[in-house]
Structure 1
């Protein structure tokens, strides 16, 4: 049986070609998680027995195949989705001020934030459920294309309401990317390379940095940015539109690359749930032949495991299908606790992080901080802060493979460090201190956030993974929209919310340390 034949990283038939040499160089990091029977994370936690047996065989086949250039392509092209999500999430906050000024400052000032989060809420649920029902492949490709079109069109909008509509459509597409990038990548990864999902969050920082550089380039020149609502017209306020056009063009290039370079195959674990055993074997045989790797998996071995229960109940979009995938996240007490704690974490960080920065400026001003900056300094600092977030996931990827840390304590450390800098930030009085603490928070936050992004799909059952991931992100987006309302209506000069946000962030770390499952050394089911 293939379950008894698992190749270690050092016994691959050909040399591994990895992400910039990093994965190969650190293969020994994952050696403790070389897999065998019984090491699948959710094998003993209420998953359909037939599906669980098939997943064990497929996980062994993935380990046998090892890391290939196909995985390298996925790292970059799925990473594009990460980058697009963070880019478009920041776009609305970057361009909203100038756009609001051009449109006469009539309407709700934080409407773009609310529009984005509403779109992402709907997108997370739609694409999450859709990916479990109709498959990962189509949702993966279409969501990025929607982002591309909506971003370009948004830059041509003539008024505040129409801009809000297309910002919400951007969020709708981005909601799918965020759910599917980690899901698709994880379901192709060998067990001892699952830590790369954590490192992939570096693309989140790259997307934020790109937004910062676009803002720095287009929102500084006077000829493109009006200074007063009284004199503001489309002709002298093109800067925010150029930001949208440039961003949309970049997303278009990423969309084309995803469609042409990777030729994404449907993930084997989704096909298992659908009872498509022949297609599962075809996928592995195709990759094995292309990259000169062994493949011992056969249709006969899969069929011997029986018929999966998920396949017997899934026929397409319906209320019944939706409930099936939701119920699948609460099969046992332990999986129920795990699902609810993950969702709680996403909800908490969706509220805490944006609220902290909403209340912070007025708090610092009331304490005598001199943070007045020129437009050039503002967007330069913005770019520097976002660049710092690129490196947190690299550290997180290394930390989560240290035996006594794993994923849970990596999140604990990242959250506690972020909380420390949150509290220390209240002592900022100069512009240089502001930049330094912002960069430190960007780095530490992405240790936590990057690991949470990877941990969430790792501990969810494969047949319902996209649904669980989608609901987690959706909860985050509801809180993001709520934070925009609170920031507009509440008294931002009081100090209490600052300290509450810092304490809640420390609480996020404690919650992470108490998660029921530790994926370190185990394969995702």
Structure 2
């Protein structure tokens, strides 16, 4: 988007004043303000950041932390649930393609991430925030009543469409209301991912051993004695439905100020910030006159319609507006591609590899199996907690990711030497903990360094690459030899590449504010 030439001089003076006198800001400046992509937008965004810092952290942000965290939890819950119930459902339906549910889930997540991400930049964050979880809950409940494998795959895909799209918005909405000194909470919010996994483990532990215990082979598995996997879907869908209702009733979300600024809706932006300030008795000195003094934004659209294909091109060009921004966008998408391939492949190949190497893990009962599964998922909650602390130190986001990736790589290599049940559960817990240090930080870093006007599109494409690799991993698992050690070492080596990429990211958000 280009600024009005008449307004350039006042804008440049405003930016200079903001850089010289930033008494309200807790940070050292806005991450992208030196890119000089659009001086009008930079100046207005600087004023908005000052206002958010002046208001500070309120109960409004605490509510967003919980309600947006639901999106993280649902994303991990749905991905794990489809994998958990696939075996029992397959005994009942005898599918022709065993990994069909995994592909269906990742296809839904892929389409959801792209659709809701781009929609968020066109019509705003509010609509997707309120609708996506509701869609997910409805199809999750219906999935439990599926009469055959094909219908189950369809509802898993539709359910994942809501869950995957919702995840794109969680970080963006929360970030765009956060004071700069509290942006580390964006990393901590990834702990909800582990909470979702924990619920998946609880549901499996509660229902599968008790309601599917007589269904062990295709011959003796019927609808009547194999209701455990259906109850898992009913419970999951009901939980997501309660979360979606809470999003509508607990907080009446207003459109984020930074989206409104990018759309040229200065009056609504100021009104939103003043509303929060009044409600929580906080100061806010931002005025509409200050915003208008910065100049007028050009929409930058090639056509009058917001729904034209040209609009998508505008947002893609915005992610590559400068050389540094282009490098940053590319490296972020590359990182999501790597983690999207490495982690699913690891889970696919590890069991067969351990069996081929003579690991004596013992004969676990169904109860013990799902108990251990729950323990592993519980461990994953605490990785983002440590990552949140590390991000708030001089390590920053980049080197938190470097450390998380390298430590995960080390334990991945070590895991190939597992020989006992105790070693198996301990290493599984440690790996899930370390992995979420990297993953949780990447989730937070991505929206922090993307420009607000194009944040949904950039975030959606990043997660979309992740989902594409998930689909690829399911296909590889079907056709490849899972007993060879080569994929294990490739997966671990990918984490070295992730660490190297994180180290050369051009932007470090520590001490700065999102733009």
Structure 1 residue 59 displacement after superposition:
0.2
CA distance in 2, matches of 1:222, 1:5: 62
In 2 relative to 1, CA 513–310 (structure 1 residues): closer, same or farther, beyond 3 Å?
A: farther
Q: Deviations over 1:183-227 (max 9, x none)?
A: 000000001110000000000000001100100111112556511
- Contact map agreement 1:215 1:243 (CA 8 A) in 2: yes
CA distance in 1, matches of 2:310, 2:404: 39
Instruction: Indicate which of 255, 261, 277 corresponds to 1:266.
Output: 255
Instruction: Indicate which of 325, 331, 344 corresponds to 2:315.
Output: 325
Structure 1 residue 514 displacement after superposition:
1.0
Matched, 1:212 2:201: yes
Instruction: Indicate which of 57, 61, 70 corresponds to 2:47.
Output: 57
CA distance in 2, matches of 1:489, 1:96: 18
CA distance in 2, matches of 1:106, 1:87: 23
In 2 relative to 1, CA 503–317 (structure 1 residues): closer, same or farther, beyond 3 Å?
A: same
Q: How does 1:41-80 map to 2 (within 5 A)?
A: 41-80=31-70
Matched, 1:391 2:382: yes
- Contact map agreement 1:46 1:331 (CA 8 A) in 2: no
Residue number in structure 2 paired with 1:181: 170
Matched, 1:283 2:272: yes
Residue number in structure 1 paired with 2:243: 254
Instruction: Indicate which of 96, 115, 118 corresponds to 2:104.
Output: 115
CA distance in 1, matches of 2:339, 2:421: 26
CA distance in 1, matches of 2:383, 2:502: 17
CA distance in 2, matches of 1:308, 1:486: 48
Instruction: Indicate which of 430, 436, 440 corresponds to 2:426.
Output: 436
Q: Deviations over 1:147-188 (max 9, x none)?
A: 110100001010000000010011111121110000000000
- Contact map agreement 1:47 1:461 (CA 8 A) in 2: no
- Contact map agreement 1:87 1:207 (CA 8 A) in 2: yes
Structure 1 residue 315 displacement after superposition:
3.7
Structure 1 residue 368 displacement after superposition:
0.8
Q: How does 1:305-384 map to 2 (within 5 A)?
A: 305-310=294-299, 315-371=305-361, 372-384=363-375
- Contact map agreement 2:145 2:230 (CA 8 A) in 1: yes
Matched, 1:227 2:216: yes
- Contact map agreement 1:275 1:311 (CA 8 A) in 2: no
Residue number in structure 2 paired with 1:165: 154
Unmatched 5+ stretches in structure 1: 9-33
Residue number in structure 2 paired with 1:141: 130
Query: After the TM superposition, which of the residue ranges 217-226 and 347-356 deviates more from structure 2?
Result: 217-226
SS at structure 1 position matched to 2:35: coil
Residue number in structure 2 paired with 1:95: 85
- Contact map agreement 1:414 1:445 (CA 8 A) in 2: yes
SS at structure 1 position matched to 2:285: coil
SS at structure 2 position matched to 1:44: helix
SS at structure 2 position matched to 1:221: helix
SS at structure 1 position matched to 2:233: helix
SS at structure 1 position matched to 2:319: coil
In 2 relative to 1, CA 225–135 (structure 1 residues): closer, same or farther, beyond 3 Å?
A: farther
Residue number in structure 2 paired with 1:127: 116
Q: Deviations over 1:353-387 (max 9, x none)?
A: 11112111111111111223221111111100000
CA distance in 1, matches of 2:348, 2:27: 46
Matched, 1:450 2:428: no
Structure 1 residue 309 displacement after superposition:
3.1
- Contact map agreement 1:310 1:463 (CA 8 A) in 2: no
- Contact map agreement 2:408 2:431 (CA 8 A) in 1: yes
Residue number in structure 2 paired with 1:16: none
Question: How many residues get paired?
Answer: 496
- TM-score relative to the length of structure 1: 0.92
Structure 1 residue 318 displacement after superposition:
1.4
- Contact map agreement 2:172 2:447 (CA 8 A) in 1: yes
SS at structure 1 position matched to 2:445: helix
CA distance in 1, matches of 2:474, 2:30: 41
Q: Deviations over 1:333-365 (max 9, x none)?
A: 111110000000000111111111211111111
Residue number in structure 2 paired with 1:503: 493
Q: Deviations over 1:231-266 (max 9, x none)?
A: 111111000000000001100110111100011110
- Contact map agreement 2:108 2:161 (CA 8 A) in 1: yes
Residue number in structure 2 paired with 1:29: none
Structure 1 residue 5 displacement after superposition:
6.5
CA distance in 2, matches of 1:437, 1:368: 17
- TM-score relative to the length of structure 2: 0.94
Unmatched 5+ stretches in structure 2: 1-13
CA distance in 2, matches of 1:398, 1:222: 42
SS at structure 2 position matched to 1:263: coil
Matched, 1:293 2:282: yes
CA distance in 1, matches of 2:182, 2:258: 17
Structure 1 residue 493 displacement after superposition:
0.9
CA distance in 2, matches of 1:451, 1:377: 32
